[in-house]
């Protein structure tokens, strides 16, 4: 295996096109920190806080929901990452096998918006509030400073992204583990049973699953440069493990933090760091800033790659690097708009993500299973064939999403018929959307063959 990495200062030339064999490099171990670093930040912490403070779970109940949701999302992530070395293309290009060449524009477009506008804004705003708390600089200029740095890293491309995540990981891990110990010392993790019940459990599960599986549409974006001979088990292990451990540990720390009343009127980051001694509070703010950059860098990079996967007739100058800058500008505007109430915006966004991810994931995992022993050359030809049609994937995705609408339980956007009639059921969108997408796609595929 060629472990040599090309110079990180060179702007990456590839977008959605296959990576040639002579340009493949790296080791699957790099996927461990690439997927761990972006999760060690405030967004992950806040999921844990919500599970206790908003969804009404006791600490043990929250831990169960958080670990289960993170585990299932990470399992899917590891499996999808194995297609990177195999095909050498981004995840959204591989989606053409499920949705057809033109039909794939639907999930690719959605992912570009979700990653480049939604997640980029959410993570950057979390970092901006941390920079505001640390330095006193106003939130808007704090946001602008961070997004410029994030866009520069994404603009240069793949190798610099991996290198940044590698150097950020040990700093983030050490600071958050120390902060976690301090949080647990002051937390009330042995309190009685929560009043959230099954509904609260499903809300917490959906939130953490949506957060974790939200990375699934980007899985092979960061494994596609690995040599084709890379063992699939190692690719799956390192990518899935990095995602799971960081999401599970950091969100559980957040749940412990949620058992302590926060100061009135405090920003989300101030509410967390107020529980820490001064020196550790400042260190944690630094880590939150670094973690936000680690996540947003992946967001803006993958969003640009997803736009490239649309195969639009774009001018030559609007390549992957230029798309990073364009997506970053749009995401910055969205972040600016959410500065007024970042906590509520994030809570609502978490549930919205799960609404489309679940049926999409059901389709692509079923395709991954059904392709079986299909020759590699045939699959590659199908992805590149502009005439390839697969209505089964599009139909399964849309039906899975449509049937899930009555199950929505998002107080700020829409509460469907089921939770409005039976609030105790919480949000069943994830399991129902996934099952419908998978079963319908399998049935339609068999019928067409």
CATH number at residue 441: 1.10.4160.10
Q: Report if residue 231 sits inside a domain.
A: yes
What's the rounded Cα separation, in Å, for the pair 340 and 330?
A: 18
Q: How far is 244 from 389, CA to CA, in rounded Å?
A: 35
16 within a domain of the structure (yes/no) = no
- Does residue 2 lie within any of the structural domains? no
Q: Is residue 23 part of a domain?
A: no
**What is the total count of domains within the chain?**
1
Report whether pLDDT(279) > 60: yes
Kind and range of the H or E run holding 39: none
Question: Residue range 429-449: average pLDDT?
Answer: 89
pLDDT at 267: 63
Mean pLDDT calculated for residue range 412-428: 79
What is d(CA 330, CA 327) in angstroms, rounded to the nearest whole number? 5
The tens digit of pLDDT for each residue in 2-26 reads 454 444 568 999 999 999 999 999 9
Query: pLDDT digit string (tens) for 111-123?
Result: 999 998 888 988 8
Whether the per-residue pLDDT at 95 is higher than 50: the answer is yes
Q: End-to-end CA distance of the chain, in Å?
A: 38
Would 203 be classed as within a structural domain?
Answer: yes
* Domain membership flag for residue 390: yes
Interval 74-78 mean pLDDT: 98
Range of the domain at 328: 28-448
409's enclosing H/E stretch is: strand 409-410
The share of the chain scoring above pLDDT 70, in percent, equals 92
Residue 201 reports pLDDT greater than 80: yes
pLDDT digits (tens, 9 = 90+) for 82-91: 999 999 999 9
Contact 50, 304 (CB under 8 A): no
pLDDT of residue 46: 87
Establish if 3 belongs to a structural domain.
no
Residue 418 to residues 55, 199, 403, 413, 428, Cα–Cα distance (Å): 18, 12, 11, 15, 9
Higher pLDDT, 224 or 199: 224
- Judge whether residue 64 has pLDDT over 80: yes
How confident is the model at residue 195, as a pLDDT?
Answer: 79
* Contact by Cβ (8 Å): 233, 104: no
Q: Is the pLDDT of residue 353 over 80?
A: no
Specify the DSSP class assigned to residue 425: G
What does the pLDDT read at residue 157?
A: 94
Mean pLDDT in the chain?
Answer: 89
Q: Give the pLDDT of residue 346.
A: 65
**Rounded mean pLDDT, 330-349:** 75
**Domain for residue 103, yes or no?**
yes
- Residue 345 pLDDT: 63
In which band, very low, low, confident or very high, does the pLDDT at 278 lie, cut at 50, 70 and 90?
Answer: confident
Task: Please give the Cα distance from 92 to 10 (Å, whole number).
Answer: 24
């Amino acid at each position: 295996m060629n472990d040599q990495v090309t110079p990180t200062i060179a702007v990456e030339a590839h977008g959605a096109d296959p990576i040639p064999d002579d340009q493949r490099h790296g080791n699957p171990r790099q996927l461990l920190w690439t997927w761990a670093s972006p999760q060690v930040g405030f967004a992950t912490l806040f999921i844990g806080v919500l599970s206790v403070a908003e969804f009404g779970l006791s600490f043990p109940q929250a831990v169960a929901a958080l670990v289960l949701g993170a585990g299932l999302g990470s399992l899917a992530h590891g499996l999808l990452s194995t297609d990177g070395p195999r095909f050498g293309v981004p995840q959204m290009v591989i989606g053409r096998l499920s949705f057809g060449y033109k039909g794939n524009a639907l999930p690719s477009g959605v992912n570009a918006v979700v990653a480049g506008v939604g997640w980029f804004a959410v993570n950057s705003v979390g970092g901006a509030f941390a920079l505001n708390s640390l330095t006193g600089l106003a939130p808007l200029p704090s946001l602008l400073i961070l997004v410029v740095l994030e866009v520069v890293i994404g603009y240069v491309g793949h190798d610099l992204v991996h290198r940044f995540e590698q150097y950020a990981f040990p700093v983030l891990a050490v600071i958050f583990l120390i902060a976690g110990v301090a949080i647990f010392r002051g937390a009330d993790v042995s309190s009685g049973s929560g009043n959230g019940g099954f509904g609260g459990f499903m809300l917490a599960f959906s939130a953490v699953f949506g957060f974790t599986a939200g990375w699934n549409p980007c899985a092979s974006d960061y494994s596609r440069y690995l040599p084709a001979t890379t063992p699939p088990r190692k690719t799956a292990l390192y990518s899935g493990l990095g995602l799971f451990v960081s999401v599970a540990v950091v969100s559980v720390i957040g749940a412990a933090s949620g058992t302590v009343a926060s100061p009135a009127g405090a920003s989300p980051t101030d509410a967390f760091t107020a529980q820490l001694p001064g020196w550790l509070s400042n260190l944690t703010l630094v880590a939150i800033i670094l973690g936000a950059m680690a996540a947003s860098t992946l967001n803006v990079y993958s969003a640009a790659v997803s736009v490239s996967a649309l195969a639009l007739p774009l001018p030559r100058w609007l390549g992957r690097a230029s798309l990073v800058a364009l997506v970053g500008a749009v995401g910055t505007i969205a972040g600016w708009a959410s500065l007024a109430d970042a906590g509520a915006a994030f809570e609502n966004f978490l549930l919205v993500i799960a609404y489309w991810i679940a049926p999409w994931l059901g389709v692509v995992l079923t395709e991954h299973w059904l392709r079986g022993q299909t020759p590699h050359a045939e699959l590659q030809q199908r992805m590149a064939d502009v005439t390839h049609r697969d209505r089964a994937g599009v139909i399964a995705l849309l039906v899975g999403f449509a049937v899930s609408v009555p199950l929505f339980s998002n107080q700020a956007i829409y509460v469907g018929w089921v939770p409005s009639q039976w609030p105790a059921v919480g949000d069943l969108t994830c399991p129902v959307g996934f099952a419908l997408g998978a079963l319908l796609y399998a049935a339609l595929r068999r019928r067409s063959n």
